[in-house]
Structure 1
């Protein structure tokens, strides 16, 4: 078992947080102290939610526990925040799209790491009305998932593929009788 780096024990971390809060209280006044304490509570809530998800995902799980953690929005967000997620940006974008069932409906065209812009193409849904309402909802879900899985994506463009034209229905039936032709039986 390897030794922890100095300051990473829970007791040392708690002492350091208290020390920093005391220093802010001494130099910044009540408003700064209150904001700092609120910040610590928000971070504790975030990490608590992440740890709760880890416990829930690993409880009674067979197979690879890492896959469950990497596919979960909360734990993936924690791993990305600390630069511990093993997937590259493209892999995390694909995970985000799979997490909202958008893989195969929203295809990745390109990601520009300099601008943070992700360009997707939306395929028309089978049997869809072509109104784009489901694409808008899927886009919102994808944006939320990407915020956790790939926060480097800061803007999304969705190009819609035009729906395939329905084939013209060919009616096959009997011909109308020709003028002057006899109909019926003898």
Structure 2
């Protein structure tokens, strides 16, 4: 389960609570987040630096580290890591941290990574990205063979 899926499930549970129950539920989530965050901070600090690197590609680990502000990479590196995990390459045209908007372009024509795949990869690694603008590569003119000449044209 990804951090995004977990967040949605928690929000759905909180939405089912009413009045004072919702306040109590939100407080419970805050306390648990603080508890797990403190424990995760201690674990990350105790790890030798080289051991954390391979774990950064795991979406669940990356999501937890980002959620608790423990991820060792900056947002640019995390965006690259997320995009590198896609089956089709995309080029970063720009990221505006003020708006969270990321502009991308496909580097190959055809049916590459769907926007949902891109957004899912970014949600785990770079939740600072709140909007994705995908510039489409220009469509190439496809040239085929000429149709056979009809007998009448001969």
Aligned positions of 1:1-40 closer than 5 A:
31-32=19-20, 34-39=21-26, 40=28
Q: Distance in 2 between matches of 1:93 and 1:161?
A: 20
The 3 A distance-change label for structure 1 pair 43 and 97 is farther
Q: Which has the higher relative contact order, 1 or 2, with Cα contacts under 8 A spaced 6 or more apart?
A: 2
**Backbone CA RMSD of aligned residues:** 3.3
Question: How many angstroms does 1:43 deviate by?
Answer: 7.9
Q: What's the TM-score, normalizing by structure 2?
A: 0.59
1:6 equivalent in structure 2:
none
Matched, 1:117 2:104: no
Question: How many angstroms does 1:143 deviate by?
Answer: 0.7
The 3 A distance-change label for structure 1 pair 99 and 44 is farther
**Structure showing the higher helix proportion among its residues:** 2
Matched, 1:158 2:134: yes
Aligned positions of 1:1-186 closer than 5 A:
31-32=19-20, 34-39=21-26, 40=28, 65-102=51-88, 104=89, 106-125=90-109, 128=110, 134-135=111-112, 138-166=114-142, 169=145
Question: How many angstroms does 1:108 deviate by?
Answer: 0.7
- Any unmatched runs of 5+ in structure 2? 1-17, 41-49, 147-154
Q: Distance in 2 between matches of 1:149 and 1:116?
A: 14
Asked if 2 retains the 8 angstrom alpha-carbon contact of 1:99 and 1:145, the reply is yes
Question: How many angstroms does 1:101 deviate by?
Answer: 2.6
The structure that has the greater radius of gyration is 1
Question: How many angstroms does 1:157 deviate by?
Answer: 0.4
